[in-house]
Amino acid sequence: MIDIKFLRENPDVVRQNIKNKFQDFKLPLVDEVIELDEKLRKTKVEADELRSRRNKISKEIGTLMAQGKKEEAEQVKASVASLGEQLAKLEPVEAELEEKIKKDMMTIPNIIDPSVPIGKDDSENVEIEKFGEPFVPDFEIPYHTDIMEKLNGIDLDSARKVAGNGFYYLMGDIARLHSAVISYARDFMIDRGFTYCVPPFMIRSEVVTGVMSFAEMDAMMYKIEGEDLYLIGTSEHSMIGKFIDTMNDEAKLPYTLTSYSPCFRKEKGAHGIEERGVYRIHQFEKQEMIVVCKPEESKMWYDKLWQNTVDLFRSLDIPVRTLECCSGDLADLKVKSCDVEAWSPRQKKYFEVGSCSNLGDAQARRLRIRVKDADGNKYFAHTLNNTVVAPPRMLIAFLENNLNEDGSIRIPEVLRPYMGGKAVIGK
């Protein structure tokens, strides 16, 4: 959510930003906010004047009563009552205008970074850099669920009976591999100075609307019936929510946290052959990283965050590349974002395994995450998040890139301590 003062002073910049994100249907909101804001400010001035007069007259009543002038005091009380009636009419108008402005402001997209490429959708994202040499073996690589099934590592049929499509049972060494990746990713981030955290797996609606756009919320979140609670789609939501309504000492920044959680997603609109198996699912586990920092440090942290994911995948012998998200592919709260994509030898192309985002002060503004410097100046923090690893997708890349011709799976050296010393998963 952008600062209304910025919109008020730079409406053309906000309009151009909306156009850059190919959301022209939101253009009328700019004029609507300007009009509503003007009405609200006039209403506030009128209401504040009435409150001031009422307070002044109320003091006069006390003075008159102290002087024994009860009759005069009663006459003055009548004027106070009249002011109260006028205020009673204005205050609901004030509240209604504030709510309308807030709703519009939460719909208008955040101002994107000047470095973001302009494009309509993910087909226009731009490759930044490749890490590791993509390799295609001289034997056929089966679909990832076929690899797992041959190792007795997955049961999709039973999961469908129990929970429906989009769920799975991981079994045996594949289940152990899944847990090993999560544990390795946890320790990898701790070694890089991040504080480990296991957050709540449910959050209230105020946190949901604080961390994501309405469109994302509708497409992703599962609501708990009869309660003001949602299952988290990713632990970054709960982790950023940890700082709601806080005033943070600038000297203690940045906060760098890495969190484990299960994640639950509707995955509305998921379709296509590559979304069979465990690529797009309703439940998975994930290791995440978030940063709360000073505005001038967010660019530096953005580069550090995506590099962490690249380094982790390379330590597991998986080639990756980074892809700059274009304007039309950015969620409304994001200032800048890049995807980390892993190489798929089977498909002979890269696919997304993680996403790094700088959200500027948008989440902090919605959740009231403020910072106070040594001089007492207050400002909104910047927030960032990035996927360390999400094993279902990561498992696809891992299995394909470490598959032997006989169907066994190589275990990279760094992962072996988490696999009981195993160097290979065999049939």
Which residues are annotated binding-site positions for ATP? Answer: 265-267, 352-355
Residue 288 burial by CB count (10 A; 0-12/13-18/19+): exposed, middle or buried? buried
Q: Which residues pair with 257 in a beta bridge?
A: 195, 290
Rounded distance, CA 169 to CA 167, Å? Answer: 7
Q: Which amino acid does the sequence have at 183?
A: S
Neighbour order of strands in the sheet with 222-223: 202-203, 230-231, 222-223
| CB atoms inside a 10 Å sphere around CB 20 | 18
Residues annotated as binding site? Answer: 234, 265-267, 288, 352-355, 385
List the Cα angle 2/200/315 in 5-degree steps. 85
Within its chain, how far is the Cα of 117 from the centroid? Answer: 21
Residues annotated as binding site for L-serine? Answer: 234, 265, 288, 385
Within its chain, how far is the Cα of 127 from the centroid? Answer: 23
Two tokens at 207? 């946190």
Q: Three-state DSSP class for 369?
A: strand
The owner of tokens 């299960």 is 262
